[in-house]
């Protein structure tokens, strides 16, 4: 039976549910000034989750289950199901990322499928006879969510010929702006006064797009210890052909490709305290790894929260991330970002004066109503992680041992157990294997974008989950890795690692070919 292994795991951990004391000792936000309750000013809250606290006995058992293994001769128990009971069977096709959670109740499948329809829906400009789909732009990056997240997988950057990619865009900001005292170590930035927070390179008929993302690729060769040479391509990005005048002279640009969508609901359900336990901002253990949480402002809950999603962990919840994409990528008003002009600034007068696709009494008076946003979030939350392949293969087990030995798991933490949740059974109390700590790490100058995001510096990135990492080429037809898609293979992605990951990267360079191939085989099996 498909869920038997996961059911056995749940039975192993099951225990009465009474409140458990949080032992995390994380950095606190600025103290409340008495005008708001502490649960609003303290970022260590999880208002997006209806949790059932763990008992101390339950927490002890979870600690044993999630402890690092020392046996690399056989797979660990339940390792073949990286998303627990939500894991879906592996499909050797472009639909590998488009399956729903295997433990999704039949009655909820319709919500998933309607959410999928909204995720794939092509929006049009207003006014239009298609009242359910108008309001796009007038400046935008894509007409549908699926256009960026190709088959629910990663996007890709412009190619060497400069051909536009709909699944990549430029984040924009300039230094300065208002401080955020409730976020410790916050780095103030603000949108470009003309072009806003991201570059919209498409526009409706009669309007001018803001410009285009330009990239120049520079190939450079890296020699491995056994004489193998690997070609890396270093990109230089710029805002080209600005339609509304020169941007601010201190403009900071950061290229981003759309990230893969699988397993997001499970990442959202990881207990905050378990993430913070992995943080070591002062490198107290001296291992050179000093992960720390990003703390961001939640427009959804009007408070600081732990950042979980995005390349720099800039969004606290799936719904917030979805609402931000509707607004920024497509110019669609919604319950979280209500401006029908989306990213258009005051300098873009024609855009701000354009007709909106919202009418009183229809869709909550918005372009994307609350029900539609919830359905898209539900769909995103339940895109399933495929089962592992060949986890018991000797070469893959050897690659796993090597990954542990050279320190990959110091950031790519293998496993968590999610919260018990009263309203999300698909994500509730699952042993998962995402291989991420959800924290920010300094990745060195080679990957630096120089653009802060909340408290993340221009050299810091969230540890990307590794589940499904090698399937992107199968899903989208293009194999790309890292935040801007510069890496065309897993070995290229590894060789770009620097900063806190420099020692692990150098260890890979020194591996004999057989060991390097084993490491890559392990990554490809995840």
H helical segments located in 237-393: 264-268, 272-277, 318-330, 349-352, 370-381
Specify the 3-state DSSP secondary structure of 255.
Answer: strand
Q: Give, as one character, the DSSP assignment of residue 256.
A: E
> What pLDDT score does 170 carry?
96
- For the stretch 2-50, pLDDT in tens is 333 444 344 444 433 333 333 233 333 333 344 566 667 899 999 999 9
The DSSP string of 187-248 is --EE-BTTTBTB---EE-TTS----EEEEEEEEEEEE-TTS-EEEEEEEEEEEES-TTS---
> What pLDDT score does 159 carry?
78
- For the stretch 189-227, pLDDT in tens is 999 999 999 999 999 999 999 999 999 999 999 999 999
> What pLDDT score does 9 carry?
40
Among candidates 325, 323, 264, 257, which has minimal Cα distance to 97? 264
> What pLDDT score does 162 carry?
64
> What pLDDT score does 40 carry?
78
Distance CA 314, CA 173 (A): 14
> What pLDDT score does 335 carry?
97
Residues in the chain, pLDDT under 70 = 1-39, 160-162
> What pLDDT score does 30 carry?
38
> What pLDDT score does 35 carry?
55
Which position has the token pair 């759309």?
Answer: 258
> What pLDDT score does 362 carry?
80
Residue 302, token pair as written in the block? 């009007």
> What pLDDT score does 461 carry?
98
């Amino acid at each position: 039976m498909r869920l038997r292994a996961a059911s056995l795991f749940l039975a192993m951990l099951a225990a009465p549910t009474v409140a458990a004391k949080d032992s995390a000792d994380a950095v606190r936000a600025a103290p409340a000034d008495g005008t708001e309750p502490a649960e609003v000013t303290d970022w260590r809250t999880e208002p997006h989750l209806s949790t059932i606290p763990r008992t101390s006995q339950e927490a002890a058992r979870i600690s044993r289950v999630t402890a690092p293994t020392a046996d690399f001769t056989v797979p660990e128990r339940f390792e073949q199901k990286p998303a627990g009971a939500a894991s879906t069977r592996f499909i050797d096709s472009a639909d590998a990322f488009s399956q729903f959670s295997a433990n999704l109740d039949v009655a909820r499948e319709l919500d998933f499928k309607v959410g999928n329809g909204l995720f794939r829906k092509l929006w049009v400009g207003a006014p239009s006879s298609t009242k359910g789909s108008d309001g796009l732009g007038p400046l935008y990056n894509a007409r549908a969510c699926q256009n960026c997240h190709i088959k629910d997988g990663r996007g890709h950057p412009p190619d060497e010929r400069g051909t536009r990619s709909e699944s990549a865009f430029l984040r924009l900001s300039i230094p300065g702006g208002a401080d955020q005292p409730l976020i410790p170590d916050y780095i103030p930035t603000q949108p470009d006064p003309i072009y806003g927070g991201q570059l919209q390179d498409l526009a409706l008929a009669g309007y001018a797009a803001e410009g285009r993302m330009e990239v120049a690729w520079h190939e450079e060769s890296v020699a491995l210890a056994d004489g193998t040479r690997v070609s890396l391509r270093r990109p230089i990005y710029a805002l080209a052909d600005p339609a509304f005048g020169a941007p601010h002279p201190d403009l900071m640009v950061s290229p981003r490709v759309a990230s893969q969508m699988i397993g997001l609901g499970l990442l959202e359900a990881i207990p905050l305290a378990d993430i913070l336990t992995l943080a070591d901002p002062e490198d107290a253990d001296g291992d050179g790894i000093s992960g720390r949480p990003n703390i961001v402002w939640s427009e959804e809950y009007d408070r600081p929260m732990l950042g979980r999603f995005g390349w720099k962990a800039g969004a606290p919840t799936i719904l917030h991330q979805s609402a931000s994409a509707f607004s920024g990528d497509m110019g669609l008003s919604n319950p979280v970002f209500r401006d029908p002009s989306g990213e258009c600034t005051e300098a873009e007068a024609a855009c701000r004066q354009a007709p909106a696709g919202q009418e009183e009494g229809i869709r909550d008076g918005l372009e994307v109503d609350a029900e539609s946003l919830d359905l898209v979030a539900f769909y995103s939350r339940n895109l399933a992680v495929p089962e592992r392949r060949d986890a018991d293969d000797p070469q893959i087990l050897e690659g796993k041992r090597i990954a542990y030995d050279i320190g990959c798991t110091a950031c790519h933490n293998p496993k968590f157990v999610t919260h018990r949740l009263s309203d999300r059974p698909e994500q509730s109390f699952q042993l998962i294997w995402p291989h991420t700590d959800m924290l920010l790490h300094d990745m060195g100058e080679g990957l630096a974008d120089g653009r802060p995001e909340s408290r993340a510096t221009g050299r810091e990135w969230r540890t990307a989950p590794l589940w499904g990492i090698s399937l992107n080429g199968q899903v989208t037809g293009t194999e790309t890795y890292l935040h801007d898609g510069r890496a065309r293979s897993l070995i290229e992605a590894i060789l770009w690692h620097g900063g806190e990951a420099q020692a692990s990267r150098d260890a890979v360079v020194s591996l004999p070919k057989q060991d390097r191939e084993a490491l890559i085989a392990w990554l490809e099996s995840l």
